[in-house]
Chains A and B, each alone.
Chain A
């Protein structure tokens, strides 16, 4: 059985670190793991995605349309942009955070209203405010690890030794806050 996790956001939001920690955890837990990202021009404020797949044996590193078990979006509008990649019975975790793209900043478009309502009416949706939770923890940069915590809970990956993964991959002075961030994220998902 192969599971697919799709992390999406805007260039610079830290999706890459979150997916790196996730894939290392999955590998150390004994799964076959593949991950796909696109680098390059899209980094400049464009839409970005990390696609993670794990199971006994994974073939494709990319998730196909209607293929993701969970879509975790670091930004509201990006959740809709990638929604067609979710299984109809899949879950969405969406960060209640808006980043206006240039056509919106320039006034050609308005940031669309009612995205959360659109998502919730179509699919099982959990809305989190990771930026607020990160600020409460004292470091807005751990927003991505909070969202990692939501994935761990939603996908039932609590048994993996995340404490070890964090200790092995994060600078010592940031270990404690990242461990708290995972816990906060896990508690955000019912």
Chain B
């Protein structure tokens, strides 16, 4: 059966066909839809959102030890979080096959960096596969499990944003039931005390030698001979970009199995062509290996080290120019940055927080990161998931070393980010006692990645009821005594609560509890947040004095009509959060039924 699938959907289909029994992940663009699609095979695969990537990989490792084919998926930076278990499981090897999918982001469409996770395969000494389109993504998952079990190793599959999110035609197959392997206790293999790990270390090297033979013989690495003046070595999506530009005028060494790289095939190819181009995104990963083998090639001296290697980039790098295009008046194009949605529960909170003086706002990863920009200007730095609370703690400790420093740190992160790694950070705050103000923006869902359930939402990925974590109780159990839960849409409540927290000389936690405006309400949400997003606000033009106070809440539903010098609310966008209504000095904004 032929279907148009994204790379992520194809990975999920591949996992299904490969007989996978267990899957775990933490959401992150561009990887999120892998697990969401695996979850649709609910009769055959148990799919779970984990609290973070390390936990996801560890759960998958446990499932593999217990005998099931298991798969973990995450965005590139998630692999940093999961690196610890990865590097040890690389030593022990598997029982049921185990595959880790890393979704990298050349071009940083939705990420804080563009690290090249191909380096992880080399670093952890595990085999790596790199699909270039959806058909390969599906087929390679099956191959990856065969390699995992045949060579007793976890396998890395490296995807990139364009392979994850591009659709192409896939011929689907049937599920192969491989069952669950018997579990047999084997402490020499799985208990990595130094005495055992030293033995395993030698086995890993032996495994790499065998994998090198595989790399040189597998048809995942293949040569397409055309004219031999130009030879192109490429992998992943770059292979198709290169073919788009060079077509049949060049020969290709297409690499699908990229660790260990196939030294014999590379030699055969480089010896036969006049000029070698290595076309790859981010690091000169293949290029370095070609040079180590003693061949000269054109790589990062010609192509950019950053961004996507799309056909126009290749064309410009090789030929010095892009295809002809239409010149136009670019001053007519105004930026369109992402913004908080109308009704976003972060708006009221950051509107008030942004007014505070002598404050450092320690940010985190989520929609609320957008508070860094106008009109809130309410973020000083963001590092990584969970870092708001811990980096905020360190910053506050240093500010407190300066005599009479007025600086106070407010650390802000979302509910899912708090569960991810914020809990550990909060324990550090209570243990080492900094007077930080810690804010958990609980919008009842994992927002930015498109609404995934989490331990606080009350449901699992596959729709089972779960006991929702009570954040306030969890925070108190961590040792925080100053805790308040507030409605972030109530500006006065936000202001008074911030004032209360600033008045304390010990750590505090503020929990803002209101659902994401885009969330599909559960029965519990409907009960708790009755009437939310069911009304609209409107501005009475008679009362509006054109002061723009409402414009400064930064809502996409409000605009300023310059001709009439009045603010206007788009009724089709407004969901009645009432933040603007509270800041109007003339009570010109009223709420009505939708």
The docked-state distance in angstroms from the alpha carbon of A86 to that of B322 is: 12
- CB-based contact A59/B559 at 8 Å: no
Contact of B332 among A11, A41, A77 (CB under 8 A): A77
Q: Which residues of A contact B339 (CB under 8 A)?
A: 44-45, 102
Residues from chain A with Cβ under 8 Å of B367 in the complex: 44
Q: In whole angstroms, what is the CA distance A64 to B308 when docked?
A: 12
CA A23 to CA B169, docked complex, whole Å: 10
A38 near B312 with CB under 8 A, answer: no
Is B193 in the interface zone, CB < 8 Å from A?
Answer: no
- Please, which residues of chain A bring their CB within 8 A of the CB of B479? none
Which residues of B are at the interface with A, using a C-beta cutoff of 8 A? Answer: 2, 4, 29-30, 33, 109-110, 133, 161-162, 165-169, 237, 240-241, 243-244, 308, 310-312, 315, 322-341, 367, 370, 374-375, 448-450, 548, 551-552, 554-556, 558-560, 562
**Segment touching B, from A114-122, A149-157, A180-188:** A114-122
Q: A137: CB under 8 A from chain B?
A: no
Contacting residues, chain B, for A119 (C-beta < 8 A): 328
Question: Nearest CB to that of A36 among chain B residues?
Answer: B166
The reply to whether B326 and A88 form a contact with Cβ atoms under 8 Å apart is yes
Do the beta carbons of A109 and B334 come within 8 Å of each other?
yes
**Given A27-B169, A39-B450, A107-B548, A118–B322 Cβ distance below 8 Å?**
no
What residues of chain A lie closer than 8 Å to B311, measured between beta carbons?
60, 62, 64, 67
**Knowing that A39-B450, A60-B310 are A-B contacts, what are 12 other residue pairs whose CB atoms are under 8 Å apart, sorted by A's residue number?**
A24-B4, A34-B166, A35-B168, A39-B165, A44-B338, A61-B237, A64-B323, A65-B312, A66-B325, A84-B326, A112-B332, A115-B332
Query: Chain A 86-114 against B: per-residue CB contact (8 Å), 1 yes, 0 no?
Result: 11100000000000111111111111101
- Whether B326 contacts A39 by the Cβ 8 Å rule is no
Given the contacts A35-B4, A102-B337, A86 and B375 also touching, CB distance less than 8 Å: no
- B337 and A84 contact, CB distance less than 8 A: no
B243 in complex: contacting residue of A10, A59, A67, A87, CB < 8 Å? A59
Closest 7 CB pairs of A and B: A40-B110, A66-B323, A40-B29, A61-B166, A66-B325, A64-B312, A44-B338
Residues of B within 8 A of A81 (CB): 333, 336
Residues of chain A within 8 A (CB-CB) of B332 are: 77, 80, 112, 114-115, 118
Task: For B375, list chain A residues within 8 Å (CB).
Answer: 106
Nearest B residue to A75, CB-CB: B336
Report A9-43 residues with CB < 8 Å from chain B CB. Answer: 10-11, 23-24, 27, 32-43
Measured in the bound complex, the distance between the Cα atoms of B364 and A68 in whole Å is 38
Total contacting residues, chain A, CB less than 8 A: 59
A42–B338 CB distance below 8 A: yes
A123 within 8 A of partner (CB): yes
Specify the main secondary structure of chain B where it touches its partner.
Answer: loop
Contact yes or no, A118 B328, CB < 8 A = yes
How far apart are the CA atoms of A66 and B321 in the complex, in Å? 11
Given A44-B370, A80-B332, A112-B334, A107 and B560 contact (CB-CB distance below 8 Å): yes
Interface residues of A (CB under 8 A from B): 10-11, 23-24, 27, 32-47, 58-62, 64-67, 77-78, 80-81, 83-88, 100-112, 114-115, 118-119, 122-123
Q: Looking across the interface, which residue of chain A has its beta carbon closest to that of B331?
A: A112
Query: From residue B544, how far is it (CB to closest CB) to chain A in Å?
Result: 15
| A106 in contact with B374 (CB, 8 Å) | yes
Q: B449 to chain A: which residues have CB within 8 Å?
A: 40
CA distance A103 to B374 in the complex (A): 9
Closest to A68 in B: B325
Asked if B335 and A65 make an inter-chain contact with CB atoms under 8 angstroms apart, the answer reads: no
Given A33-B169, A42-B109, A44-B339, the answer on whether A123 and B334 have CB atoms closer than 8 Å is no
Cβ of A181 to closest chain B Cβ, rounded Å: 19
Q: List 19 A-B contacts (CB under 8 A).
A: A10-B336, A11-B338, A33-B169, A34-B133, A35-B166, A38-B161, A40-B29, A41-B109, A47-B336, A59-B243, A62-B162, A64-B322, A64-B323, A77-B332, A80-B333, A105-B560, A106-B375, A112-B332, A118-B328
Closest chain-A Cβ to B273's Cβ sits at a distance in Å of: 20
CB within 8 A of B556: which of A40, A45, A78?
A45
**B326 contacts which chain A residues (CB < 8 A)?**
66, 83-84, 86, 88, 122-123
CA distance A115 to B331 in the complex (A): 11
Chain B residues within 8 Å of A41, by CB: 29, 109-110, 338, 448
Contact A101 B335 (CB under 8 A): yes
Whole-angstrom distance from the CB of B433 to the nearest CB of chain A?
Answer: 36
Cβ of B310 and Cβ of A62 under 8 Å apart? yes
Min C-beta distance of A111 to chain B, whole Å: 7
- Write the chain B residue with the least CB distance to A101: B336
Q: A34-B168, A101-B337, A105-B559 are in contact. Are A59 and B240 (CB under 8 A)?
A: yes
Contact of A37 among B2, B165, B329, B334 (CB under 8 A): B165
Q: A41-B338, A107-B560 are in contact. Are A118 and B167 (CB under 8 A)?
A: no
| Chain A neighbourhood of B334, CB < 8 A | 77, 101, 103-104, 109, 111-112
User: Whole-angstrom distance between the alpha carbons of A112 and B308 in the complex?
Assistant: 30
- Asked if B325 and A84 make an inter-chain contact with CB atoms under 8 angstroms apart, the answer reads yes
**Complex contacts, A88 vs chain B, CB 8 Å:** 324-326
Most buried by A among B324, B327, B335, B448: B335
Complexed CA–CA distance, A59 and B109 (Å): 22
Which residues of B are found within 8 Å of A114, using beta-carbon distances? 332
Q: Contact between B324 and A66 (Cβ–Cβ < 8 Å)?
A: yes
CA distance A67 to B162 in the complex (A): 18
CA distance A107 to B340 in the complex (A): 17
Task: Tell me which residues across on chain B come within 8 A of A107, comparing CB atoms.
Answer: 548, 551, 560, 562
Q: How far is the CA of A78 from the CA of B442 in the complex (A)?
A: 34
Asked if A45 and B336 sit within 8 Å, CB to CB, the answer is yes
Q: Cα distance A109–B559 when bound, in Å?
A: 12
Minimum C-beta distance from B236 to chain A (A):
12
Residues on B with beta carbons closer than 8 Å to the beta carbon of A78: 336
* B residues less than 8 Å from A112 (CB atoms): 331-334
A23 touches B244 (CB 8 A): no
